[in-house]
Chain A
């Protein structure tokens, strides 16, 4: 049983003339076995929250704490956070020219496990993971995310989720830009991950659509850099019907 805790988190980015505060006191606790949905309008700071937990250098933490079972996450390097069990499926996965998917996955697996995976079983695992998200096996020889379509990039993130099998997965708008078939494939991947029982998911989304396939235990409405309201799955239904308007007006 593990807990990821975000306490009163304040985050800024550097802009031309100084700093711009984006997160203004975020409180959140996610336990293993739970799925939390974070829903909010564009620009509300959802990606900033995800990146800050993962340790992206662009964001400056100006206050608050992030802990994993009481251990300070913010003082860890990016790769240490991953090795502590955090995983971020990115809204815009990055292209890495000249580095093959297969080399990338193997290097990541080796880094996480502290030893290289057994070659024969590993190749099979990679193939299976790709098959499950209907990704052609040829992608293994292609360069990481280079020339991938939006949907292919997202499937590739799910392949990584499957193979690297973290304790805490943050999925940043993995559903955005997917057609319905891809959305189902991606959701199935997330549900397989969840079905292990002790895994935690922080599902960041702009739309309620994906929540038809992935049932959250908790829903947080994210507006203006903080959580504006919290509830159960019924809150998602309410958002579906009413949109973010009332929260945006309150926060403005």
Chain B
């Protein structure tokens, strides 16, 4: 069976222990998952601290209720374990026709680098509702979570997940998104911290007219493994997807993985998809794997394409900046900022944009020295 047709299932038996040779696991250093694949039971939780705008309901539900709500099912072992071991799930419910003016921000933090933590979150956006939902991860933990996002007809969702972990954290996350008929969904992933981060985003459509935009930014430091996999399943006609991920790498053993799978099913006529991944390698000793993958089962489409590029600093850009008196460190800093700027600007939440730029800044200081002036 192609990895473009994963089997969604709660049954652990359907998700055998990986050996590392499987297509979906071949880049991941399994040894560093620190027991997450064994499914050690645990009652530990991440601290949940949320700004909940009026009109949003946040409550605990049982795993059975989550299934009855029609959440997306796990497609790999860690996410199946997260549901099996996670106990109650948290439901974030934005009722139909509720238009939020403030973002819903959830800060999740871990305090113990040896805590195994299972998480199960369901986000339900009712029909014609409009919301911005942000999950921000901080601190230390060995965390595996399944997040299911069900977006109703004509709804509009901006969903951001920020991985700002300490250097010892491990985070496996599966995010399943079902895009309703005529719904508009923008997702934003930022992975900057942690020892190992592996986020798998699966998207399917629940009717025609769904419009998905997925953005991502990651920055892998020495010895850090950051992996983003996405699978966009164009299972409905006249749907759209646009994916842009950008990564930076620096330091010995920094490893980033980006795998973008897009499937255009036979029924999915009139769809449009484009995905791109770009990586900027700042030092020697880094490795950036970038695998776009498009499988097309119908010819009746508006457009489909992908692009992937991994490169070093552009000498001409650095020369141009330096020829104006800007030091080589500062020139590099400017170029990296510029590289990420278009992604960061798409978040649309100024406070978070500022914090992410500051986080990128902090990463760069390790390599290229402190900034000379602020960024406009």
Q: Which residues of A contact B (CB under 8 A)?
A: 54-58, 77-79, 81-83, 87-88, 90, 93-100, 102-104, 106-108, 110-112, 116, 143-144, 160, 164
Interface centre among B317, B323, B327, B339 (most CB of A within 10 A): B323
Q: Which residues of chain A come closer than 8 Å to B369, judged between CB atoms? A: none
Binding-face segment, B181-189, B205-213, B296-304, B329-337: B329-337
Q: Given the complex of chains A and B, what is the CA–CA distance between A98 and B315 in angstroms?
A: 16
- Neighbour of B373 across the interface among A110, A143, A144, CB < 8 A: A110
Q: Which residues of chain A come closer than 8 Å to B373, judged between CB atoms? A: 103, 106-107, 110, 116
Contact A108 B324, CB 8 Å, known A96-B317, A102-B376? yes
- Neighbour of A107 across the interface among B319, B326, B341, B342, CB < 8 A: B326
Q: Given the complex of chains A and B, what is the CA–CA distance between A205 and B338 in angstroms?
A: 33
Please name the 7 residue pairs, one residue from A and one from B, whose CB atoms are nearest each other, closest first: A98-B338, A98-B341, A108-B324, A82-B325, A94-B320, A78-B322, A103-B376
The yes or no answer to B215 lying at the interface (CB within 8 A) is no
Asked if B323 and A88 sit within 8 Å, CB to CB, the answer is yes
Asked if A96 and B376 sit within 8 Å, CB to CB, the answer is no
Q: Which residues of chain A come closer than 8 Å to B325, judged between CB atoms? A: 79, 82-83, 108, 111-112, 164
Asked if A107 and B323 sit within 8 Å, CB to CB, the answer is no
The yes or no answer to B90 lying at the interface (CB within 8 A) is no
Within B124-182, the residues touching A (CB, 8 Å) are: none
Q: Given the complex of chains A and B, what is the CA–CA distance between A81 and B328 in angstroms?
A: 13
Closest residue of chain B to A146 (Cβ to Cβ) is: B338
Closest residue of chain A to B376 (Cβ to Cβ) is: A103
Asked if A96 and B320 sit within 8 Å, CB to CB, the answer is yes
Interface residues on B, range: 20 to 34
Q: Which residues of chain B come closer than 8 Å to A160, judged between CB atoms? A: 324
Q: Which residues of chain A come closer than 8 Å to B323, judged between CB atoms? A: 54-55, 78-79, 81-82, 87-88, 90
Asked if B319 and A57 sit within 8 Å, CB to CB, the answer is yes
Q: Given the complex of chains A and B, what is the CA–CA distance between A58 and B337 in angstroms?
A: 25
- Neighbour of B315 across the interface among A54, A57, A90, A112, CB < 8 A: A57
The yes or no answer to B13 lying at the interface (CB within 8 A) is no
Q: Given the complex of chains A and B, what is the CA–CA distance between A54 and B319 in angstroms?
A: 9
- Neighbour of B324 across the interface among A98, A116, A143, A164, CB < 8 A: A164
